[in-house]
Amino acid sequence: MSKQSYKVCFCFRRRFRLTVSEAPQTIKKLFEQYSENGIMNADHFLSFLVEEQKEDKVTKEDAQTIIENALRELRHLPIFHRKVFNLEAFFKYLFSDSNPPLSTSPGVHHDMTAPLSHYYIYTGHNSYLTGNQLSSDCSDVPIIHALQRGVRVIELDIWPNSTKDNVEVLHGRTLTTPVELIKCFRSIKEHAFVASEYPVVITLEDHLTPDLQAKVAEMVTQTFGDILFTPGSDCLNEFPSPESLKRRIIISTKPPKEYLESKEIKDNRSESQKEKPVGDEEAWGREVEDPKGRVKNDLDEEDSNDYEEDLDDGDLKSQHVEPPEYKGLIAIHAGKPKGGLEECLKVDPNKVRRLSMSEQQLEKAAETHGKEIVRFTQRNILRVYPKGTRVDSSNYNPMIGWMHGAQMVAFNMQGYGRSLWLMHGMFKANGGCGYVKKPEFLLKTGPHNEVFDPKAKLPVKTTLKVSIYMGEGWYYDFKHTHFDAYSPPDFYARVGIAGVPADTDMKKTRTLEDNWAPSWNEEFQFPLTVPELALLRIEVHEYDMSEKDDFGGQTCLPVSELKKGIRAVSLSSRKGDQYNSVKLLMRFDFV
């Protein structure tokens, strides 16, 4: 090896040497405050847990157990005593998985005995797609992944197969390759309650003839058997509770028509609804006409079905044909009443139903009928789905749905991005069971029959104070040349709130150069008018002068469930998978 090449190699190794992360000055001062002669025993640690971490129910025995468990995890450290903390052990404990930002011990802790309409429900859109909305494969694999994450609403678009004698799942009028419906049903049954024992709703976008609907009814009853919730053919007058529906499967779709169109009209309509030619991607999202000549801009099947439902009975020569087995399996009836928005949002005291709107329809409706939407969602279920032009399986801001009480904010679970990070964050609440009780202000009616007004300007209820001390773990979870080929990374953090418009904010730390364990030691404050709906957004990026900044991790946490005090916050990948080692040391408080 030449002298010159030796120098280059030596320089490369020197610059990538990991600086051992040591406790920030704040942590050192806390240790001094709660220790004697460099030792923190159970009494000292108990005082720290009560006064700094606000763990008011912890006992001395609990404190001792935490110390001993932590030291067992840190057995590689040169610790001279296995029943007390020194500074290094105390710091490592604070930065460990044993000190998470959300409480894990209560598990499910919301009241689960209210009607389904009182909960936000973890909801998927086109749950069978592996990728984009136009040409990806249809499979049961993304359904399994969604259920393993805790998703509780699975959407299947069901169509006749090419020989019209069986049922397939695919995104209609696109190039997506189908998967057999029975395969999806079997996978749902196998994985439905792996992550949560609370009910799974299957929403069906039904494009079938009555004989195939009867075939689906047979598949459903044979596959799910006793775990299927079947209230009968009549509409429910109130939804059951998640508690009463534990480990049950629920079917939701539009009830089948009680008539068949005459052959003449059916043939005419089928001509206008033939599948688009292979490769005709331009058809997606362009204006098409329905049988009455009205213009539709969105080719989502839900919209398409709603237009069909709006047709007056008088437009069709009908004969009474009804597959009773199929209709009797539908527990949550879907559909849009004839008429305008006012009719859609009318609350029937004698029955409940599910209404679907695209993200665009909701935004438009919210401008003029925000309070009516809130009133509707107190008893009924509102499902919001992505607009049809999101062919890349991207998503939208879920907050507009949640702040109006929408229970089923349906997302493309394979469409990674910031919107989906918010969805992941929302459903970390309530033990990750997939059901989160809506805030009381969205459920109650005032003395004069008034409801929450999403447009009202509200006073600040509380202020969240966030301190971000430092981060570490990238050295172990990333290749050492991932961020920069020749030097350690230049990290900065972004911290903010996703919530109602008045609360939404994002702030940024300074960038620290050449450091695998950046120590920012910065504090931010976020005034909150609706803390019940606020999500804490945290991202880390690596500054790149010449290109787009590199991604270094993210997480999203429900503010309502944040634990006060100093906490170790694990970060995840773009896809939402938690890294093995990457964590931030942060502090949370409400003032």
The string of pLDDT tens digits covering residues 102-127 is 987 779 999 999 999 999 999 999 99
What are the residue numbers of the active site?
125, 171
Which of the pair, 282 or 103, is modelled with greater confidence?
103
Q: State residue 485's pLDDT score.
A: 86
Q: Which of 253-267, 406-420, 503-517, 556-570 has the lowest mean pLDDT?
A: 253-267
Q: Which of 156-160, 220-224, 266-270, 282-286 has the lowest mean pLDDT?
A: 282-286
Q: State residue 73's pLDDT score.
A: 79
Contacts with 302 (C-beta within 8 Å, 6 or more apart), sequence order: 205, 356, 358, 385
Which of the pair, 79 or 6, is modelled with greater confidence?
79
- Beginning with the edge strand found earlier in the chain, give each strand of the sheet holding 535-542 in spatial order: 505-508, 491-498, 535-542, 550-558, 565-572, 578-590, 462-472, 519-528
Contacts with 472 (C-beta within 8 Å, 6 or more apart), sequence order: 21, 95, 516, 517, 581, 582, 583
Q: State residue 20's pLDDT score.
A: 53
Q: State residue 286's pLDDT score.
A: 31
Q: State residue 317's pLDDT score.
A: 53
In the predicted structure, residue 267 carries a pLDDT above the cut 80 = no
Q: State residue 230's pLDDT score.
A: 93
pLDDT-derived band of residue 275, with 50, 70 and 90 as boundaries? very low
What is the average pLDDT across 189-209?
97
- 8-state DSSP, 240: P
Q: How many of the other CB atoms lie within 10 Å of CB of 452?
A: 24
For the chain, how long is the longest CA-to-CA vector?
A: 93
CB 15 within 8 A of CB 487: yes
Distance separating alpha carbons of residues 45 and 85, to the nearest angstrom: 9
456-459 contacts at long range (C-beta below 8 A, 24 or more positions apart): 457/502, 458/502, 458/529, 458/530, 459/529
pLDDT-derived band of residue 257, with 50, 70 and 90 as boundaries? low
pLDDT in tens, 311-349: 233 333 533 455 558 999 999 999 888 889 999 999 999
For residue 365, what are the CA distances in angstroms to 11, 242, 291, 389, 491? Answer: 62, 29, 25, 19, 42
What is the average pLDDT across 242-270?
70
Q: What percent helix, strand, coil does the chain show, rounded to 5? A: 30, 25, 45
Q: State residue 338's pLDDT score.
A: 86
In the predicted structure, residue 50 carries a pLDDT above the cut 90 = yes
The full set of domains in the chain, from first to last, is 16-99 (1.10.238), 116-258+321-442 (3.20.20.190), 458-591 (2.60.40.150)
Distance separating alpha carbons of residues 331 and 237, to the nearest angstrom: 11
Q: State residue 16's pLDDT score.
A: 46
Helix spans in 393-433 (H)? 399-402, 418-426
Q: State residue 142's pLDDT score.
A: 98
**Using CB atoms within 10 A of its CB, is residue 298 exposed (0-12), middle (13-18) or buried (19+)?**
buried
Distance separating alpha carbons of residues 380 and 140, to the nearest angstrom: 29
| 222-237 exposure pattern, b = at least 16 Cβ within 10 A, e = fewer | ebbeeebbbeeeebbe
pLDDT in tens, 483-527: 988 899 999 999 999 999 999 999 999 999 999 999 999 999 999
Rg of the chain in Å (alpha carbons):
27
Sign of the CA dihedral with 495 first, then 498, 503, and 506 last: positive
Contacts with 515 (C-beta within 8 Å, 6 or more apart), sequence order: 19, 488, 489, 490, 491
Sign of the CA dihedral with 552 first, then 556, 559, and 560 last: negative
The strand pairing partners of 168, in sequence order, are 159, 180
Q: Which of 38-42, 211-215, 323-327, 531-535 has the lowest mean pLDDT?
A: 323-327
Distance separating alpha carbons of residues 397 and 410, to the nearest angstrom: 11
Q: How many of the other CB atoms lie within 10 Å of CB of 524?
A: 18
Q: Which of 11-25, 87-101, 440-454, 501-515 has the lowest mean pLDDT?
A: 11-25
CB 497 within 8 A of CB 526: yes
Helix spans in 150-291 (H)? 181-191, 210-224, 263-272
pLDDT-derived band of residue 201, with 50, 70 and 90 as boundaries? very high
pLDDT-derived band of residue 235, with 50, 70 and 90 as boundaries? confident
